Structure 1
């Protein structure tokens, strides 16, 4: 059956994309753009803005949806953003809380109303919105195991980027490393690589969970023919 226009779906996706763009713009205005753009949070939300914006346009125009591996990867990356923030960075008991990292805090703008708003948009609103869109508004069954391996290349590339960036920056500047668990000055390379292995295993498990949920989700019901029954012949 050819795709049909879905204006309500398009509007919902456009709102998610707008939330991501709003949070990114706020952080770019109140912070240093090179530093802001180095965060996984910002990069994953840029992906959300692009993918959900494009998906909204396609739903509005009645075009075919995006390939499942793109939608699934977007879900994984923004889920990593939300979970790492709420379970690790904003959790004082984790040992890697941002509130425990004086160097990172000194590089961050004061917790103004605007920064608090961007925090909620980028770490809570967009992860929940993207998850709901994927679970309820996309067709299941299109993901394969090879997609999980493909997705995990991005966190690996981000690790290499974060370590290379920190090594190239001169010692002393705040936020030399974007996250406390990647701070070589504190943990050393062995400690950071150990942290990376643990996080990598968690991300791999999360990718497999996305694959599992994709298979467990029910198929959407096809539109009913309101003129003739399924067994009826062609209209006359």
Structure 2
């Protein structure tokens, strides 16, 4: 059952990512190369891509990423994607048509699907708080990349880290606050997971 669910989720997430890529190329305001770089400069795109890859692997080789923590890390990342969008970014634009559908998939539907998948299949009882440090490497590496590249290209994918508009001190403060949110969110998932975990054999048989 799990491979089939994973396959359907992979299709949904890949559809959102690929369609967003096509829409961005179609409406580009920079060169094709620069547009592609900018596309993969969004945490939303990178994280949804990771989700698509994860579900694809689970559909083909469900035992490959079986260690407890991988799914939770992904769930934390995409939960932040959804939460930050709903709280800080949704009000700044109003997409229509296909763009609106893709926007909702990337920021609302896909995060909810991943959370549901996590609840059913993660080996939550094996999660440990010490794993959080490792999970932070991805958002920290992303932040460094965005700030370094932005200093040369003047392109920052999100207003709360746009150094050219809010200055580096405020951008770093905002980034620090987001890292705290990552830590708290991860701790919540671990706490909840440890207390609501079910028997591993039940999950595998679902």
Question: Normalising by the residue count of structure 2, what TM-score does the alignment of the two structures yield?
Answer: 0.86
Give 5+ residue unaligned stretches, structure 2: 25-34
1:112 Cα deviation from its structure 2 partner: 3.9
1:123 Cα deviation from its structure 2 partner: 0.9
Match of residue 76 from structure 2: 76
Computing the radius of gyration from Cα coordinates, the structure with the larger value is 1
Pick the aligned partner of 1:117 from 97, 101, 116. 101
Partner of 1:219: helix, strand, or coil? coil
Partner of 1:68: helix, strand, or coil? coil
1:155 Cα deviation from its structure 2 partner: 1.1
Q: Deviations over 1:182-208 (max 9, x none)?
A: 101111000101111111111110011
1:58 Cα deviation from its structure 2 partner: 3.3
RMSD between aligned residues:
1.9
Q: Deviations over 1:135-187 (max 9, x none)?
A: 12333212112211111111111111111111111x5xxxx100000101111
- Whether 1:150 aligns to 2:134 is yes
Give 5+ residue unaligned stretches, structure 1: 1-6, 93-97, 100-109, 224-236
- Whether 1:10 aligns to 2:18 is no
Q: Assess, with a 3 A threshold, how the Cα gap between structure 1 residues 189 and 140 changes in structure 2: closer, same or farther.
A: same
Supply the distance in 1 between the matched residues of 2:184 and 2:79 (Cα, whole angstroms): 12
Answer whether contact 1:27 1:115 (CA < 8 A) is retained. Answer: yes
User: 1:118-197 alignment to 2 at 5 Å?
Assistant: 118-169=102-153, 171=154, 176-197=155-176
State the number of aligned residues: 192
Q: Assess, with a 3 A threshold, how the Cα gap between structure 1 residues 221 and 189 changes in structure 2: closer, same or farther.
A: closer
Answer whether contact 1:14 1:56 (CA < 8 A) is retained. Answer: yes
Over 3 Å off, 4+ runs: none
- Tell which has more relative contact order, 1 or 2 (C-alpha 8 A, sep 6+): 2
- Whether 1:213 aligns to 2:192 is yes
Higher helix share goes to which structure? 2
Supply the distance in 2 between the matched residues of 1:188 and 1:209 (Cα, whole angstroms): 32
Answer whether contact 1:19 1:122 (CA < 8 A) is retained. Answer: no
Supply the distance in 2 between the matched residues of 1:111 and 1:65 (Cα, whole angstroms): 35
Answer whether contact 1:19 1:125 (CA < 8 A) is retained. Answer: no
Question: Normalising by the residue count of structure 1, what TM-score does the alignment of the two structures yield?
Answer: 0.75
Supply the distance in 2 between the matched residues of 1:56 and 1:221 (Cα, whole angstroms): 18
Supply the distance in 1 between the matched residues of 2:181 and 2:76 (Cα, whole angstroms): 12
Q: Deviations over 1:201-227 (max 9, x none)?
A: 11110011111122012323756xxxx
